Structure 1
Amino acid sequence: MNSAIVGLQWGDEGKGKVVQKFSRSHEWIVRFSGGPNAGHTVYHNGKKVVHHLVPTGTDKNKLFIGRGTLVNFDILNDEIAKLSEIYPDIKERLFISEWCRVITPVERWQDAEIEKLKGAKSVGTTGMGIGPTISNDANRIALHVFDLFDERIFREKAKLLKKFCGYQKDFEDDLLKSFNKVRERVEDPKISGDILFEGTQGIMLDPMYGTYPYVTSTPTIPSYLSYGSGIKAGYEVFGVFKAYVTRVGAGPFPTELNDDTGDAIRKSGGEFGSTTGRPRRCGWIDLPQLKYAIEISNTDHLVMTKADVLNGFDKIGVCVGYDRPFCVHDLEDVNAEIEYIKGWKNLESSEFGDFVSLIEKYIQKRIDYISFGPSEEEIKVR
């Protein structure tokens, strides 16, 4: 059976290790969206690796970077080199769609300049050039992987891109050199067998269904995966969420804790961006937000992660409503209604069971898996 794993909050829900666990029952792992702005922290044979572009899998999986993914070849090559130390044949099992859009130094420069121009209205991007690449693609001047196979065409298009964007430096030679390291892996393969579609970031960052304008630039909802991968397939959706909530960058966050409790969650959960290293904003779980994300993503199965991070807190907050109806593009200045319950010592405590029951009652859906540590072995079925 095909599966899609997506985040139900603002990203950083711990999807990487969930993908790693489920990869063992699938033949293919497919990325269908996002780019190196996303980071999945996974432990391979005890060694920590942050995946930015290479799909998360084991030594048995075939890996496909689908056409909806934005590629930075320098980051991709570094990642392949690190994974090759663990899986020597990783490169032979990796395929890259020729339709992937290519992030160049032009877009990374644009990203920084646009954030400066926005000033107080900046959204806090990762600076990876994601938004400008999408914008340039809409203007029909972005580079695609297929452009790099013909050097004359590539240089002509690169010249137009620089002229359009007002970029003065040459990057063509370096980009070609980086591309040539993975040139032979460019192929849209014929995929058969069970597929696991690996989502990036979270539903609340989707550009059409998230907290616009504080969103990412590529779709995060599972209904995009066939379009973004080029694969027509049915699938079950596994939605991943934390026992609390985090987000990186600017934007509304109704349950944010700007106090010692928020600091304690950040420290206990190691809540620092895997891509940027920035400290994540932390807050109590938000049930209206979670229910919205479950409905918009048509989630079939729920996975709660980082439940153990809240071990030892005297009381736990749960947002059960706002002072006005939920509206995804109007969460600024809402007042969250927080219900406090007794904390728990460990996940075997009855108090933790009460926490789970409270969530399930509100969202009207069962939580099928609970994660309680950084490795894939620390996920239990309920």
Structure 2
Amino acid sequence: MKQNIVILGTQWGDEGKGKIVDYLSKYSSYVVRFHGGHNAGHTLVVDQKKIVLHLIPSGLLHPNVIGIISNGVVVSISELVKEIEMLKKNNFFIHQRLFISDSASLILPFHIAMDIAREKTLGINAIGTTGRGIGPAYEDKIARRSLRVGDLKNEKKLSLKLEKIVNYYNAQLVSIYKDKSFDYKVILKDLLKFKNIINDMITDTNIILYEAIKNKKMIIFEGAQGSLLDIDHGTYPYVTSSNSTVGGVITGTGVGPKSLDYILGVTKAYSTRVGNGPFPTELFDETDSYLSKEGNEFGSTTGRKRRTGWLDGVALRYSVQLNSLSALCITKLDVLDNLKEIKICIAYQNINTLEFHTSLSCNNLENMKPVYEVYPGWMKKTSGIKKIEDLPKAAKNYIKCIEKIAGIPVDMISTGPDRNDTILVRNLFL
């Protein structure tokens, strides 16, 4: 039996991972966030009620699941408290079910100010961040000056460290970016207020996970952004600031690789991207408008319109290899229901030399033209279908083509936003 499942995005994020985590969490005991911050946005629909989570693991909508925000995550305490309150208002109570690593780094107001100031200065060359302070918070972590969640437990130590880092940021914000400065005492006051709310949640989450693995409890590791936004392996520099590939699970939680039993890659039936950066299959025609409308392709964190394109088989194969994926979950299949034909990119053609490539080097992507295979659409409703045999023949053929291109099976298919609009092609738990 598969005890520990990793759920990752294979594209540039927004693949629908939150729904898949939510669906599979009914079988699990723990759900763990291992990287990123509140720049992630996971939209869940339960009994037609829409819930958007940014920091809290998606599985906590199930009352018996324990959630862990592990050391690889950067945490905005204020946003976390807002999320907890939002769940309470929607009758989801997570008291004594959410734990936060004392080693997780904090996102603070000056990180957000620095993020926004840098993007503004870069102008048309901006990365396209969410402006949530993620990058600067990870910079502090690597530079070993980060404030951590565990520092909240010692007010004197917290005050000294906070004053030092606020002075560091004020010097840059004022002199370089002509921005306002911060008073560390104001930030300290807010931190202590929020600390009183989450104090009982702060712990060494490694111990919880070690015990869970020893006792053969099922754990789901929830990825945030997609693999192609990984800081090391994505389309650099247009990437996120953390490891969104499978390696991030190990470093971001302290769980060893031998404890990972199954790695599920979540793949949208087409492609989208938010922010700047190369996107070989991007569309600029009526199909783009169709996918945006039918797929509701607007960021759940920023509200920005997502760029849309056909499924990129080259990028998908790259993600399969990079993450040692066990299988795929195809989401938003129903969005394609009314298209007469559907395309998949199978290679890149260099427009300068007429050579074909199947690599994903960001340095070369700007000069690449996608090479497509064209498939007939099914022109029938798939929304809400729960059995593979009930899909139209052309839809099943499309799934088989994706399996052939990726080289691994499709074990799940999502046919709508609700948690129950899901096809389990194979039993994931055997």
For the superposition of Structure 1 and Structure 2, which TM-score range results when normalised by the shorter chain? Answer: over 0.9
C-alpha distance in 2 between matches for 1:113 and 1:91: 37
1:363 aligned to 2:363?
Answer: no
Partner amino acid, structure 2, of 1:60? N
- Corresponding position of 1:70: 74
| Unmatched runs of 5 consecutive residues or more in structure 2 | 174-180, 350-355, 383-390, 426-430
The equivalences for 1:176-195 within 5 A come to 176-189=192-205, 190-191=208-209, 192=212, 193-195=217-219
- Corresponding position of 1:377: 420
User: Residue 135 of structure 2: which of 128, 131, 134 is its match?
Assistant: 131
The equivalences for 1:336-347 within 5 A come to 336-346=370-380, 347=382
C-alpha distance in 2 between matches for 1:265 and 1:95: 38
Quote how far apart the aligned CAs of 1:364 are: 2.0
Partner amino acid, structure 2, of 1:196? I
1:244 aligned to 2:279?
Answer: no
Quote how far apart the aligned CAs of 1:160 are: 1.2
C-alpha distance in 2 between matches for 1:119 and 1:47: 38
What is the CA deviation profile of residues 282-315 of structure 1, one whole-angstrom value per residue up to 9, with x for unaligned ones? 0000001101101101110210000000111121
What is the CA deviation profile of residues 316-363 of structure 1, one whole-angstrom value per residue up to 9, with x for unaligned ones? 121111114223323122100122222112343222222222222222
Query: Per the alignment, in what secondary structure is the counterpart of residue 79 of structure 1?
Result: helix
- Corresponding position of 1:32: 34
Identity %: 38
C-alpha distance in 1 between matches for 2:152 and 2:400: 54
C-alpha distance in 2 between matches for 1:43 and 1:352: 24
TM-score, normalised to structure 2, is 0.86
Partner amino acid, structure 2, of 1:145? V
- Corresponding position of 2:182: 169
C-alpha distance in 2 between matches for 1:12 and 1:122: 20
1:16 aligned to 2:32?
Answer: no
- Corresponding position of 2:100: 96
Tell me how large the CA RMSD over aligned residues is.
1.4
What is the CA deviation profile of residues 20-51 of structure 1, one whole-angstrom value per residue up to 9, with x for unaligned ones? 11111110111111100001111244421111
Partner amino acid, structure 2, of 1:246? T
C-alpha distance in 2 between matches for 1:179 and 1:116: 32
Quote how far apart the aligned CAs of 1:76 are: 0.5
C-alpha distance in 2 between matches for 1:51 and 1:333: 37
- Corresponding position of 2:369: 335
Q: Is the 8 A contact 1:80 1:91 kept in 2?
A: no
C-alpha distance in 1 between matches for 2:341 and 2:421: 24
1:6 aligned to 2:8?
Answer: yes
- Corresponding position of 2:387: none
- Corresponding position of 2:158: 154
C-alpha distance in 1 between matches for 2:420 and 2:93: 24
TM-score, normalised to structure 1, is 0.97
Partner amino acid, structure 1, of 2:376? K
Q: Is the 8 A contact 2:72 2:104 kept in 1?
A: yes
1:112 aligned to 2:138?
Answer: no
Q: Is the 8 A contact 1:141 1:160 kept in 2?
A: no
User: Residue 322 of structure 1: which of 331, 348, 362 is its match?
Assistant: 348
Count of residue pairs the alignment pairs up: 382
C-alpha distance in 1 between matches for 2:46 and 2:190: 31
Runs of 4+ in 1 over 4 A off after TM superposition: none
Query: Per the alignment, in what secondary structure is the counterpart of residue 96 of structure 2?
Result: helix
Partner amino acid, structure 2, of 1:280? R
Partner amino acid, structure 1, of 2:192? L
- Corresponding position of 2:178: none
Higher alpha-carbon deviation: 352-361 or 256-265: 352-361
